[in-house]
Chains A and B, each alone.
Chain A
Amino acid sequence: ACLQKKLLDYFNAD
């Protein structure tokens, strides 16, 4: 099964 990553796993909130 595949896990959907989130954008916050890559980018930081300003």
Chain B
Amino acid sequence: MLELRLVQGSLLKKVMESIKDLVNDANFDCSATGFSLQAMDSSHVALVSLLLRSEGFEHYRCDRNLSMGMNLGNMAKMLKCAGNDDIVTVKADDGGDCVTFMFESPNQDKIADFEMKLMDIDSEHLGIPEAEYEAIVRMPSAEFARICKDLSTIGDTVVISVTKEGVKFSTRGDIGTANIVLRQNTSVDKPEEATIIEMETPVSLTFALRYMNSFTKATPLASQVTVSLSSELPVVVEYKIAEMGYLRFYLAPKIEE
């Protein structure tokens, strides 16, 4: 028996809107630790890793580990039917072939339940080792989204370079080139507007903007985004989910042939 009650149901709506276009089908894993998902996009270039810790739920019951295969587009359709202030409860029976999403309005005057069929998904789980990154950039998530969107009007790829001067986002296309440099800025009044650059070694990596733009659909989840770079690793773009966990995107770089 699985029963997860999330008072801030809008978080789950935002998570689904962030990942449904990147991944079609995925297994949600439930354990005593929390509700998690790891899935790659169909071309095995990008990976989504979600964790919602059990402590973040108002009620969390998971009698035994359960893996539920879901079509993310269909799940997103159902969650779209929840109001932004609704409490969302996810329910499933052990060994059952469906999952129920229950939506309660804040004053309990409307209760809806949506049942969705589960599916068998043969997914490849990747072991992602803990790594030390050469550079970690923390910046406003809206600024990151703006930069990725702007650059994708000029070119298809972005070169992200971190030096002691700051972080530079560059692209080139048929019409010309673009460079955007952000310097560290910790002097702002609001911490969510800060840009913080931790650099061990200068690093420069090239990524497909199509994927970066897809990751920025998670912008409503967090005011800040963390971009972790190492020359020998995929980039990690992380959105923290308030008090509960994270949504991380991994993207393999492009390299010169």
Q: Across the interface, which residues of A come within 8 angstroms of B250, CB to CB?
A: 7
Tell me if B127 and A13 are in contact (CB < 8 A).
yes
Q: Across the interface, which residues of B come within 8 angstroms of A8, CB to CB?
A: 44, 126
Tell me if A11 and B254 are in contact (CB < 8 A).
no
Tell me if A5 and B124 are in contact (CB < 8 A).
no
Of residues 231 through 253 on chain B, the ones whose CB sits less than 8 Å from some CB of chain A are 232-234, 250, 252-253
Q: Across the interface, which residues of B come within 8 angstroms of A13, CB to CB?
A: 124-127
Partner among A2, A9, A11, A12 whose Cβ is within 8 Å of the Cβ of B257 = A2
Tell me if B124 and A2 are in contact (CB < 8 A).
no
Interface residues on A, range: 10 to 19
Number of interface residues of B (CB under 8 A): 25
Most buried by B among A5, A12, A13: A5
- Encode B213-235 as 1/0 by CB contact (under 8 A) with A: 00000000000000000001110
Partner among B47, B129, B157, B232 whose Cβ is within 8 Å of the Cβ of A2 = B157
- Chain B min CB distance to A12 (Å): 5
- Chain A min CB distance to B172 (Å): 12
What total count of A-B pairs have CB within 8 Å? 57
Q: Determine whether B188 belongs to the interface, using a CB cutoff of 8 Å to chain A.
A: no
Given A9-B252, A10-B233, A10-B234, are A4 and B45 neighbors across the interface (CB < 8 Å)? yes
Q: Determine whether B206 belongs to the interface, using a CB cutoff of 8 Å to chain A.
A: yes
Tell me if B254 and A4 are in contact (CB < 8 A).
yes
Partner among A1, A6, A11 whose Cβ is within 8 Å of the Cβ of B45 = A6
- Chain A min CB distance to B173 (Å): 14
Q: Across the interface, which residues of B come within 8 angstroms of A6, CB to CB?
A: 43-45, 252
Q: Determine whether B130 belongs to the interface, using a CB cutoff of 8 Å to chain A.
A: no
Q: Across the interface, which residues of B come within 8 angstroms of A3, CB to CB?
A: 254-257
Q: Whole-angstrom distance between the alpha carbons of A3 and B253 in the complex?
A: 9
Q: B residues within 8 Å of A by Cβ?
A: 40, 43-47, 124-129, 157, 206, 208, 232-234, 250, 252-257
Q: A residues within 8 Å of B by Cβ?
A: 1-14
With A5-B252, A5-B253, A5-B254 given, name 8 new contacts (CB 8 A): A2-B206, A7-B234, A7-B250, A10-B252, A12-B127, A13-B127, A14-B126, A14-B127
- Which are the 7 A-B pairs with shortest beta-carbon distances? A2-B254, A5-B252, A11-B126, A14-B125, A3-B257, A6-B44, A14-B127
